[in-house]
């Protein structure tokens, strides 16, 4: 077969997680900034593409197209190489449960990558705001950004947490599937459906929200954008405090559960627990030269 079997994917994930845990902090942080930027660029693309699509094609199809274009973010992370917190939830957990990476190192890597993702997301958010792109289509692009951000901070804690679980379950499955492929085209094809699916379903991705919510907060101060959004007087919760308390904290915890437990933990138990995981890894590019995710 021109792909890895499930047990070979599990071994590849463990080997990749070990390599990630051994990255020097400066390189880890740099690659994390890139991942945050790549996901933010995909978020900006999704905003532009979907700003007025709903009124022409309806909610469902608009969500589908939004998910289609958002896949560019993870494609950039996987193919170009970067460190993404949500993917590392799965990869480093497999390596730790497999006895290859120490848990303190895993937690440290998560913190460094999370901080780097945040920095990269904020960088793109600042560039997008400075570009004035949000004024396109009679301010509807900016209006979409404000509407999305407001919806995210209006979720209940429980809803945000559960949507975070569901999101990273699908994101990490996308990364898991991409490990099975040995070339660029098939890696992107493997990740496409799960990523499209989580976006279309409206689940919550912590790194994406590091872009969506700050952009919405800043643009909520622009009168023309607020008028175009129709949300005047309805965005009192959209602020820097609610970004954390109403979204990033519960969504991040949910992402950890979805990626570390429902993908990393489950597949470690199914394929690696009790087996000889120190056996030679299969000769495949995705193992010998694992991409940074």
How far is the C-alpha of 92 from the C-alpha of 94, rounded, in Å?
Answer: 5
What's the mean pLDDT in 232-255? 97
Does position 266 have pLDDT exceeding 90, yes or no? yes
Residue 160 reports pLDDT greater than 90: yes
**Digit-coded pLDDT (tens) for 73-113:** 999 999 999 999 999 999 999 999 999 999 999 999 999 99
Q: Band the pLDDT of 275: cuts 50, 70, 90.
A: confident
Share of the chain above pLDDT 70, in %: 94
pLDDT at 278 over 70: no
- Mean pLDDT for the stretch of residues 25-54: 97
Average pLDDT over residues 16-32: 97
Residue 281 pLDDT > 90: no
Largest CA distance in the chain: 62
Closest-CA residue to 139 (of 219, 66, 63): 219
- What is the rounded distance in angstroms from the CA atom of residue 242 to the CA atom of residue 69? 28
What average pLDDT does the segment 270-285 reach? Answer: 61
Confidence at residue 276, expressed as pLDDT on a 0 to 100 scale = 58
Percent of the chain whose predicted confidence (pLDDT) is above 90: 91
Q: What CA–CA distance (Å, rounded) separates 35 from 251?
A: 18
Rounded-to-integer distance, Cα 227 and Cα 220, Å: 10
Inter-CA distances, 167 with 118, 200, 259, Å: 18, 11, 9
Question: CA 49, CA 39: separation in Å to the nearest integer?
Answer: 15
With b meaning 16 or more CB within 10 Å and e meaning fewer, what string describes 208-220? bbbbbbbbbbbbb
* pLDDT at 162 > cutoff 60: yes
pLDDT band at residue 230 using 50, 70 and 90 as cut-offs: very high
Average pLDDT over residues 158-175: 98
Long-range CB contact pairs, 54-62, < 8 A, 24+: none
Residue 115, C-beta contacts closer than 8 angstroms, at least 6 positions apart: 29, 32
Residue 143 near residue 57, CB atoms below 8 Å: no
Q: What is the pLDDT of residue 292?
A: 47
What is the structure's pLDDT at 208? 98
| Mean pLDDT along residues 118-126 | 98
Distance CA 273, CA 266 (A): 10
The mean pLDDT value for 157-163 works out to 98
The answer to whether the pTM exceeds 0.75 is yes
pLDDT on residue 1: 63
Looking at residue 264, what DSSP letter applies? I
Residue 283 has pLDDT above 60, yes or no: no
Mean of all residue pLDDT scores within the chain: 93
- Give the pLDDT band of residue 291 (cuts 50, 70, 90): very low
What is the pLDDT averaged over residues 268-279?
A: 79
115 pLDDT more than 80 = yes
């Amino acid at each position: 077969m021109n792909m890895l079997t499930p047990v070979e994917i599990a071994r590849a994930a463990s080997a990749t997680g070990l390599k990630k845990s051994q990255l020097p902090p400066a390189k880890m942080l740099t690659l994390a900034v890139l991942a945050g930027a790549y996901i933010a660029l995909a978020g900006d693309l999704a905003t532009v593409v979907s700003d007025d699509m709903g009124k022409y094609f309806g909610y469902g199809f608009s969500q589908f197209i939004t998910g289609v274009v958002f896949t560019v973010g993870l494609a950039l992370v996987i193919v170009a190489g970067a460190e993404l917190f949500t993917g590392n939830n799965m990869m480093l957990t497999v390596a730790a449960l497999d006895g290859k990476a120490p848990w303190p190192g895993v937690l440290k890597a998560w913190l460094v990558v999370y901080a780097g993702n945040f920095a990269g997301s904020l960088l793109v958010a600042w560039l997008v705001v400075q570009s004035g792109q949000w004024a396109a289509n009679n301010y509807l692009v900016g209006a979409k950004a404000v509407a999305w951000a407001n919806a995210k901070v209006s979720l209940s804690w429980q809803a945000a947490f559960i949507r975070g679980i569901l999101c990273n379950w699908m994101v990490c499955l996308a990364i898991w599937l991409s490990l099975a492929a040995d070339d660029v085209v098939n890696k992107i094809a493997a990740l496409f459906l799960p990523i499209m699916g989580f976006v279309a379903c409206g689940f919550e991705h912590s790194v994406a929200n590091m872009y969506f919510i700050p952009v919405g907060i800043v643009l909520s101060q622009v009168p023309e954008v607020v008028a175009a959004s129709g949300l005047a007087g309805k965005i009192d919760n959209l602020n820097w405090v609610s970004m954390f308390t109403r979204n990033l904290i519960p969504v991040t915890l949910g992402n950890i559960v979805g990626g570390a437990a429902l993908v990393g933990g489950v597949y470690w138990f199914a394929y690696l627990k009790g087996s000889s995981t120190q056996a030679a890894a299969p000769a495949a590019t995705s193992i010998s030269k694992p991409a940074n995710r």
